[in-house]
Amino acid sequence: MKIDKMTAETKAIALFRKAGGMMRTAQAIKAGVHPVILYKLRDQGLIESLERGFYKLTDQSAGSDPQLAQVSLKYKNSVLCLTSALFIHELTTQIPRQVCIALPKGTHSPSESSSVHFIFLADKQYKSGIEEKNIGGIKFKVYDPEKTIVDCFKFRNKIGSDLAVEALKEWKKKRPKNLKKLLEYARICRVEKIMAPYIEALS
């Protein structure tokens, strides 16, 4: 009986490691971890609760930013955007005070908090420019650099025009650029006229 329990616990730890060190309770149960084993791991100090319904291996960091990983797992269909995406793409020197995520328009509005900021985008605006990154074993959906910049101009009243302009300058200076993609996203998000003078100034 003891061997079976240890086997179940070892299997659960392996599943946590495969998931990048962090899982939601429902995710763990679906993967085959019995709730009793989950609570046993917690009581043994092998996993810790980040908040209700979220557990992380105590000996492993869940990505470079546990809060980022937690938010990405918590909100289905979330895509990191605005200042969070700028930080990931190294397009800003500012450290985000909130995790910014985009959700499809019409999604049930989650409760806003001091640590999470939501934007809601129409179908084409939401789906454009999504890419996946793997940080510390956690997979994140994040907008690519060009879409991130366009979103910053679209929501400049929320994050500040200076930050959007800074990101555009960093994009121009640091990385391979796709101007065609940038202009297409600007058209989709209806900010092409707003961005035009800034883009021309950098050409």
| Mean pLDDT across 4-32 | 78
Same domain as 162, residue 100 = yes
In 3D, which of 155, 40, 127, 74 has the Cα closest to residue 13? 40
Same domain as 76, residue 146 = yes
pLDDT band with cut points at 50, 70 and 90 for residue 1: very low
Same domain as 92, residue 29 = no
Same domain as 178, residue 104 = yes
Which of 39, 57, 75 is where one domain is finished? Answer: 57
CB-count exposure of residue 125 (10 Å: 0-12, 13-18, 19+)? buried
Return the number of other C-beta atoms located less than 10 Å from residue 175's C-beta.
12
Whether residue 8 is predicted with pLDDT greater than 50 in this model: the reply is: yes
Domain count for the chain, please give it.
2
Same domain as 177, residue 105 = yes
| Mean pLDDT across 10-34 | 82
CB 59 within 8 A of CB 31: no
Whether residue 107 is predicted with pLDDT greater than 70 in this model: the reply is: yes
pLDDT in tens, 118-172: 999 999 999 999 999 876 566 789 999 999 999 999 999 999 999 999 999 999 9
Same domain as 76, residue 48 = no
Same domain as 102, residue 122 = yes
Q: How far apart are CA 76 and CA 118, in angstroms?
A: 13
pTM higher than the cut 0.75? no
Query: Which range marks the domain in which residue 21 is found?
Result: 2-57
Which of 57, 80, 100 is where one domain is finished? Answer: 57
Which of 10, 27, 57 is where one domain is finished? Answer: 57
Whether residue 62 is predicted with pLDDT greater than 90 in this model: the reply is: no
Return the SS3 of 149.
Answer: helix
